[in-house]
Amino acid sequence: MRTRALVWMFVMVAATACGGGGGDDDGNSDGDGGGSNGDGGGGGGDGGGGPDAPPPLPVCVPSCSTAADCGTGPAGSIIDANTYACDGGVCRWLGCLSTAECVATYGTQAWTCEAAFGATVPTCWPTCTSATQCANPNSPLLGADNYACDGGKCRWLGCNDTSECTAANMSSAWTCRKQSGMRNCFHTCTTPSDCATASAPYDADNYDCVAGTCLWTGCNTTAECMSVDPDWVCR
């Protein structure tokens, strides 16, 4: 169960550095512009930094006794045991350790390991010489006009308009809004129940409906997290 859950968690949080075209359970749809990480906790609770940053949200993270409990990928990948610490009984991702790890994980040379674009740990980024090299034609949120090639790395700029969000999520109940300095896709609502999913950490009591958009408020209890995976805790 741990392996499946950690891989799912890895995919979910890979979006938080800069945003995967498609809806996440946290009520916003992030555009995966590179920045992959294996940091514990679904739903985007890394909180950011700086003196005026809000406190980080409580999120579901895997519990551990040693770092070996956290690693799920093959040796030399960005989710092997070497890329984790067991900190206070929970897994904490340390970042990629080298560009070679990014290349091994994604199977192409077009990646680099750097701490960039607000990522608090070294992270894998696709490399580029122009924004067209960053684009994915299969998603309305991942076109060339959603990217900048910044310092030789793909940086996702956010959604351009609500039509991108509704097309990517195949639902009219989405909007493109600016939050924390970046435009992103958010599920629309009139009450928190409009935001809820069947997953306990993402039901109605885990959301606020603020200015007509869903705002995930974090996990409430470890029991919620354990309903997803018995090894997870709310921290």
Task: Look at 55 and 101; give whichever has higher pLDDT.
Answer: 101
The answer to whether residue 6 scores a pLDDT higher than 60 is no
**Average pLDDT of the residues in 173-192:** 96
Half-sphere exposure of 9 (CA within 13 A, CB side): 31
Q: Which pLDDT does position 26 carry in this prediction?
A: 61
Q: Do residues 216 and 197 touch, judged by C-beta distance below 8 A?
A: no
Q: Of the candidates 150, 155, 180, which has an alpha carbon nearest to the alpha carbon of residue 50?
A: 180
pLDDT band at 56 (very low <50, low <70, confident <90, very high): confident
Amino acid at position 32, single letter: D
The answer to whether residue 37 scores a pLDDT higher than 60 is no
Q: Do residues 110 and 131 touch, judged by C-beta distance below 8 A?
A: no
Please state the domain count of the chain: 1
Tens-place pLDDT, residues 151-172 = 999 999 999 999 999 999 999 9
Give the predicted TM-score (pTM) of the model.
0.78
Mean pLDDT score across all residues of the chain:
84
Containing domain of residue 11, as a range? 2-234
Percent of the chain with pLDDT over 90: 75
Q: H helices within the chain, ranges in order?
A: 2-13, 99-106, 162-169, 222-226
pLDDT band at 27 (very low <50, low <70, confident <90, very high): low
Q: Which pLDDT does position 46 carry in this prediction?
A: 33
DSSP class per residue in 111-156:
EEEE--TT-SS-EEEEB-SSGGGT--TT-TTSSGGGEEEETTEEEE
Structure tokens at 162: 């609500």
The answer to whether residue 13 scores a pLDDT higher than 70 is no
Percent of the chain with pLDDT over 70: 77
Tens-place pLDDT, residues 210-235 = 999 999 999 999 999 999 999 999 99
In terms of C-beta density within 10 A (0-12 exposed, 13-18 middle, 19 or more buried), how is residue 136 classed?
middle
Q: How far is CA 16 from the centre of its chain?
A: 3
Three-state secondary-structure class, residue 47? coil
**Average pLDDT of the residues in 146-155:** 98
User: Residue 198: enclosing H or E segment and its boundaries?
Assistant: none
Three-state secondary-structure class, residue 55? coil
What's the alpha-carbon Rg for the chain, to the nearest Å? 17
Tens-place pLDDT, residues 95-115 = 999 999 999 999 999 999 999
